[in-house]
């Protein structure tokens, strides 16, 4: 456990990739086989479900520390993280418990069928045997909310370098539906299970935002141009009579789209397709907010499937009849994809249309009108490009339309965590509605460190109410908020939901009287 705690701490205190790589390498030197496997499991989201509610942990921590409810609430407000607050307020440990990460995880998973008293006894005993930092990590693991402060690319590169492997192969190997207890760390990293897992997807090929004038890309004829859709990017795997649908977030979502699964089961051939899941009704792409209504449901009613029919726009072919096609040119993959669709006529899956254009000026005009089609802009893919892992500059570009923006006022603020736990970094914004303020979005990024400190000083001086770690503040600070899309929503008081909101700038030149009105904002919905 100590090696894992050192790893987490090292990843949290630096933004330098080289230092993160060194920290991962140190952990791999120190950890045993099972601990290293748990690193991959936690990183890829294969953590056990929460077996103890955070409310119980809070209650037990208050009892053990002997502090009052109000003092715990004040401490939580200051720290901003429940697990860290509990770790800090508990008395010094009475003993020293030495267990590996895998031993702790086995015990945590074993809590599933325990009584509340048995769970309490285990937690109190563990708290009494761990110093504050290890308690914090233990609480995170117990609550199922653990996050590693490292990108997938960094971890994959660290493993590839250490074991002298191709990074693409490593990325492929650690993705997929593998389970603890059924694989070994060495075997997983080396790809020993790739051929036996029918469901295994490939790492997604990603694009950079276009950072130059499009005409600087050369001859437009060398580029395949498509619309960039705002849905759920997925891989559709059909092998040996079984179908698996993976989201880009590496979640197996087959059960959420039964009509797509059933359609692909009827198709001839084995393949892996890259595409976008969208709600399309009467040949019109609906807003992403409509697609959200279909997600994460235990059951899908016939009525919902009829009202919100999902379709797939297919982008690419990654595998054909068991052969990896990612190294072939875009043109060759597209030709095979078109052949696949000719072989399997379908109403549920469609080819993503290639946009014909004679010159860059014509394409620029098309891009400006992309929002009318519920598109985010254009994708530019070099016709000779392979389907690489992650981002590789020069082959694929996303040329998005300019974001929509509104002016809104800050009304709630919450402190951050980790390095930012002393400052208010999580903000909720509101706009006008019939003379009142109504919340419209939360945003966490866009301000400089200096601006964050300035906002925090304002919050400390102008807080009106406290709700745990959240502060209601005097509505005076106006910010310009950018977002990629907007749709109607019954889950928000404003009646709308913004897609990917973020702060563009602090409008010190504006007052709260000049913020936008919700009725005008709704006119942006098409």
Indicate which residue of 228, 238, 381, 432 is catalytic.
228
State the Rg of the chain over Cα: 25
DSSP alpha helix (H) spans, 166-323: 167-174, 185-189, 258-266, 288-292, 302-307
Please report, for the chain, how many H helices and E strands are present, in that order. Answer: 19, 22
- 512-517 long-range contacts (CB < 8 A, ≥24 apart) are 512/409, 512/475, 512/476, 512/478, 514/407, 514/478, 515/406, 515/407, 515/408, 515/409, 515/430, 515/431, 515/432, 515/478, 516/406, 516/407, 516/408, 516/431, 516/432, 517/431, 517/432, 517/433
Under DSSP, is residue 473 helix (H, G, I), strand (E, B) or coil? strand
Under DSSP, is residue 142 helix (H, G, I), strand (E, B) or coil? helix
CB 124 within 8 A of CB 64: yes
- Interatomic CA distance for residues 463 and 461, integer angstroms: 6
CB 492 within 8 A of CB 466: no
Q: Which residues contact 367 (CB under 8 A, 6 or more apart)?
A: 377, 378, 399, 401
CA dihedral over 212, 217, 220, 226, signed as positive or negative: negative
Q: Are strands 470-473 and 404-415 parallel, antiparallel or unpaired?
A: antiparallel
Q: Which two tokens stand for residue 490?
A: 């019954």
Longest dimension (CA), the chain: 76
Q: Which two tokens stand for residue 151?
A: 């990108």
**Cα separation values, 42 from 141, 202, 434, Å:** 9, 19, 47
Compute how many other C-beta atoms are within 10 angstroms of the C-beta atom of residue 489: 17
- What is residue 424's DSSP assignment? E
CB 140 within 8 A of CB 150: no
Q: Are strands 424-433 and 208-209 parallel, antiparallel or unpaired?
A: unpaired
Active site residue 228: yes
Torsion-angle region of 144 (φ positive above 0: left; ψ -120 to 50: alpha; else: beta)? left
Compute how many other C-beta atoms are within 10 angstroms of the C-beta atom of residue 280: 21
- What is residue 193's DSSP assignment? T
CB 370 within 8 A of CB 401: yes
Indicate which residues carry an active-site annotation.
Answer: 228
């Amino acid at each position: 456990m100590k090696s894992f705690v050192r790893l987490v701490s090292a990843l949290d205190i630096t933004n330098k990739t080289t230092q993160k790589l060194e920290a991962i390498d140190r952990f791999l030197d120190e950890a045993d086989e099972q601990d290293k496997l748990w690193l991959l499991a936690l990183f890829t989201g294969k953590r056990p479900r929460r077996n103890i509610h955070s409310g119980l942990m809070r209650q037990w921590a208050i009892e053990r520390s002997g502090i009052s409810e109000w003092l715990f609430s004040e401490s939580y407000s200051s720290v901003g993280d429940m697990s860290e607050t509990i770790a800090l307020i508990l008395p010094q440990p009475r003993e020293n418990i030495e267990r590996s990460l895998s031993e702790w995880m086995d015990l945590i998973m074993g809590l599933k069928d325990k009584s509340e008293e048995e769970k309490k006894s285990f937690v109190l005993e563990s708290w009494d045997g761990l110093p504050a930092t290890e308690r914090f990590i233990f609480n995170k693991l117990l609550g199922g909310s653990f996050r590693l402060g490292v990108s997938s690319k960094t971890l994959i590169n660290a493993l590839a370098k250490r074991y002298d492997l191709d990074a693409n192969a490593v990325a492929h190997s650690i993705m997929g539906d593998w389970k603890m207890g059924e694989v070994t760390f060495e075997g997983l990293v080396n790809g020993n299970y790739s051929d036996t897992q029918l469901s295994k997807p490939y790492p997604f090929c990603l694009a950079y935002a276009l950072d130059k004038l499009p005409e600087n890309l050369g001859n437009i004829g060398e580029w395949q141009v498509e619309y960039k859709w705002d849905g759920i990017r997925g891989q559709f795997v059909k092998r040996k009579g079984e179908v698996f649908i993976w989201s880009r977030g590496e979640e197996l979502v087959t059960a959420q789209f039964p009509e797509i699964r059933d359609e692909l089961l009827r198709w001839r051939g084995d393949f892996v397709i890259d595409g976008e899941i969208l709600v399309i009704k009467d040949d019109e792409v609906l807003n992403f907010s409509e697609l959200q209504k279909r997600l994460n449901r235990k059951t899908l009613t016939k009525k919902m499937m009829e009202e919100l029919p999902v379709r797939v726009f297919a982008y690419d072919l990654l595998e054909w009849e068991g052969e990896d096609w990612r190294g072939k040119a875009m043109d060759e993959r597209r030709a095979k994809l078109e052949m696949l669709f000719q072989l399997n006529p379908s109403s549920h899956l469609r080819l993503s249309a290639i946009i014909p254009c004679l010159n860059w000026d014509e394409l620029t005009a098309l891009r400006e009108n992309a929002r009318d089609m519920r598109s985010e802009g254009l994708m530019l893919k070099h016709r000779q490009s392979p389907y690489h892992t992650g981002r590789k500059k020069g082959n694929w570009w996303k040329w998005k339309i300019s974001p929509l923006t509104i002016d809104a006022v800050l009304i709630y603020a919450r402190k951050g965590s980790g390095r930012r736990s002393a400052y208010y970094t999580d903000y909720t914004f509101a706009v006008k509605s019939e003379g009142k303020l109504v919340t419209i979005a939360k945003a966490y990024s866009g301000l400089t460190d200096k601006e964050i400190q300035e906002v925090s000083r304002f919050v400390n001086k102008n807080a009106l109410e406290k709700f745990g770690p959240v502060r209601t503040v005097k509505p005076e600070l106006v910010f310009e908020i950018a977002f990629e899309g907007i749709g109607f929503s019954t889950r928000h008081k404003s009646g709308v939901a913004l897609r990917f909101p973020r702060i563009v700038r602090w409008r010190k030149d504006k007052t709260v009287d000049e913020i936008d009105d919700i009725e005008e904002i709704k006119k942006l919905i098409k």
